[in-house]
């Protein structure tokens, strides 16, 4: 699922676009009108009202439909939304935009009727000015809703696109080689840095063996209690809980994370009750005797080909 929602601007931006377009349209039409001043003023005021109405209602409609239907999401995305977003406020804000989208045409029809009935030039100008004031007031009333939707959009743009297929989560402490492993297993080319906590979103990659296609997720963070996780760690936690069919746990004996801490994180992952394959990273910089002893102790894999075979075995049992 894609959460690529366009930027939501502030209410003044939409008013400026609508009013500028209205003035431009009226100016373009003015020279082609061959009629008396009074009749011309009516036609031009109608043109401005219709333009303001069309611009604002189309802009609001575009915002509303750009947000997905949150009532029909799969469990992973439902949990993601409820964890990271104030869902009640989101629905309220979308409802407020829908109210404005309906209110603007009401005022447009009302003022066009008033202008149509008037018999003097001064009243046309007065009604036009009142119309702009009413429309500005409507947009001002949804100011905070537009601001909230923009903040929500910023959160949602970090939501990963995870497909419904056999999925393997790559887990472990920060900077233990998860992103490097993902790049070796798949065609994914994540941004790999040499310091901790570098993964700021979920990196997703795929392998295809004949008719078999498998999805891999590089999950950042330490996945402790969800109440203490940052946003990206919460996403990773939910991805493992709801999307992963298998977990590759990455051990790293070269980092400052103690073996005891890494074993504790592994125990936490076992609570998901999913098959776990152990992988030892960075063996090229480790003492070979140390690697051999560790492999014997925990049965960790160090060869990418063997690791792929284990994943394919898991897929066949799925």
Three-state DSSP state, 169 = strand
Domain residue extents for the chain: 11-156, 167-317
Q: Class assignment of domain 11-156?
A: mainly alpha
Phi, psi of 246 (to 5 degrees): -150, 155
Q: How confident is the model at residue 108 (pLDDT cuts 50, 70, 90)?
A: very high
Q: What is the model's pLDDT at position 197?
A: 42
Is residue 251 within 8 A of residue 262, CB to CB? The reply is yes
pLDDT tens, residue by residue, 169-179: 999 988 888 88
**Burial code of 120-155, b = ≥16 C-beta within 10 A, e = fewer?**
eeeebeebbeebbebbeebbeebeebbebbbebbee
- Output the average pLDDT for the chain: 88
- Choose between 274 and 256: higher pLDDT: 274
> How confident is the model over 190-246, as pLDDT tens digits?
544 333 444 456 788 999 888 889 999 998 766 555 567 777 788 888 889 999 999
Do the domains 11-156 and 167-317 sit in the same CATH topology, yes or no? no
CA distances from 56 to 12, 53, 164 (A): 11, 6, 38
Q: Is 9 left (phi over 0), alpha (psi -120 to 50) or beta?
A: beta
- pLDDT for residue 114: 94
Lowest mean per-residue pLDDT among 3-7, 48-52, 155-159, 191-195: 191-195
The burial class, CB within 10 Å (0-12 / 13-18 / 19+), for 252 is buried
Class of domain 167-317: alpha beta
CA atoms in the 13 A half-sphere facing the CB of 132 = 17
Per the DSSP assignment, residues forming a β-bridge with 249 are 171, 278
Residue 29 has pLDDT above 60, yes or no: yes
The pLDDT assigned to 196 comes to: 41
CA nearest to 248, candidates 208, 217, 293, 283 = 217
- Give the predicted TM-score (pTM) of the model: 0.78
């Amino acid at each position: 699922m894609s959460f690529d929602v366009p930027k939501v601007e502030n209410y003044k931006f939409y008013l400026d676009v609508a009013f500028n377009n209205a003035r431009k349209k009226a100016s373009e039409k003015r020279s082609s009108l061959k009629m008396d001043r009074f009749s011309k003023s009516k036609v031009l005021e109608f043109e401005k009202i219709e333009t303001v109405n069309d611009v604002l209602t189309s802009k609001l409609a575009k915002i509303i439909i750009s947000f997905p239907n949150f009532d029909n999401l799969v469990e992973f995305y439902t949990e993601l939304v409820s964890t990271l977003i104030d869902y009640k406020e989101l629905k309220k804000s979308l409802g407020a935009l829908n109210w404005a989208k309906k209110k603007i045409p009401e005022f447009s029809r009302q003022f066009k009727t008033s202008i149509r009935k008037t018999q003097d030039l001064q009243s046309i100008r007065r009604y036009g000015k009142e119309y702009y004031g009413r429309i500005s007031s409507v947009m001002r009333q949804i100011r905070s809703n537009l601001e909230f939707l923009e903040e929500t959009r910023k959160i949602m743009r970090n939501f990963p696109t995870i497909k419904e297929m056999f999925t393997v989560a790559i887990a472990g402490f920060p900077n233990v080689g998860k992103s490097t492993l993902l790049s070796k297993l798949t065609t994914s080319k994540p941004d790999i840095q040499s310091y901790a906590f570098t993964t700021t979103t979920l990196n997703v990659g795929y392998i295809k063996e004949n008719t078999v296609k498998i999805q891999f997720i590089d999950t950042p963070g330490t996945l402790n209690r969800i109440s203490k996780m940052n946003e990206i760690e919460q996403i990773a936690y939910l991805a493992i809980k709801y999307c992963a069919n298998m977990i590759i746990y990455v051990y790293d004996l070269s980092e400052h994370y103690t073996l005891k801490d890494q074993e504790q994180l592994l125990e936490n992952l076992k609570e998901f009750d999913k098959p776990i394959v152990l992988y030892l990273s960075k063996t090229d910089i480790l003492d070979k005797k140390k690697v051999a002893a560790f492999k014997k102790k925990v049965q960790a894999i160090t060869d990418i080909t063997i690791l792929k075979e284990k994943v394919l075995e898991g897929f066949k049992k799925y």
